[in-house]
Amino acid sequence: MRYTEFKKGMMLYENALSTEQDMKNWRLEGEAKISFSDQRIYLENELDGQVHGDNAHWVYWCPVDFSDKIIVEWEFYPIREPGLCMIFFAAVGRKGEDLFDRNLPVRNGRYPEYHSGSIDALHLSYFRHKHSEERAFRTCNLRKSHGFHLVATGADPLPPVEDACSPYHMRLVKYEGIVQFSINDLTVLEWEDDGVTYGPVYGGGKIGFRQMAPMKAGYANLAVYEAERN
């Protein structure tokens, strides 16, 4: 398969994710433990997943609204599994509201609130090591919601935590209908929305990280650029 080529334009946002000050104005939905060391942020669940189930998971939103045609890059450090890591992007209210609009229902990290609730978003799960069937056959899954539509799947090259050589360089491109995802410069998947099958093509919006308990992971050097097509 020949993948679409993109290059980075002007930088729109940069965050080392290394101190409490870096995370000022970020919005946590659900309960998480947040710590900092080695110039990166570490995130894990506050609630016991065996006791609280889906209520133990959470989403951590960047406060910035981004336009369409962006490249998002960050460093990822898997620390403890089982668990699952995901990024949301192009997230807005279903009527075009800002994601943090007070008129939208309160969200507390439960997955149905994000895929079948009051928002539209694209979401990519890239470390799916929570359930035995996910660990036995690892994939990255791209979904379009509202509606929980699985629109693309690619092989996940990330190993179990004990074999990880962190950091892994993650690169997500959202360019009109095209979504492309790479790890360490290896393109894992590319999908182009036809604007019909699952509704209109999404534009800009917010980005956010999600983890499912009991996952612990580190993140660093988040950067968002304008995307230019070669």
- In tens, the pLDDT along 58-76 reads 999 999 999 999 999 999 9
Q: What was the pLDDT predicted at 129?
A: 82
Q: Which residues contact 64 (CB under 8 A, 6 or more apart)?
A: 12, 13, 206, 224
Distance CA 49, CA 30 (A): 12
Would you say residue 1 lies in a domain? no
Residue-number span of the structural domain to which 147 is assigned? 6-229
For residue 145, is it within any domain? yes
Measure the CA–CA gap between 141 and 131, rounded to whole angstroms.
14
Polymer length in residues for the chain: 230
| Mean of the per-residue pLDDT values of the chain | 96
Q: What is the pLDDT of residues 153-211, one digit of tens each?
A: 999 999 999 999 999 999 999 999 999 999 999 999 999 999 999 999 999 999 999 99
Measured distance CA(63)–CA(83) in Å, rounded: 25
- CATH number of the domain enclosing 171: 2.60.120.200
Strands, DSSP E only, in 81-199? 84-93, 119-128, 139-145, 149-155, 168-175, 178-183, 186-192
Domain tally, the chain = 1
* Domain-embedded: residue 62: yes
Specify if 180 maps to a domain.
yes
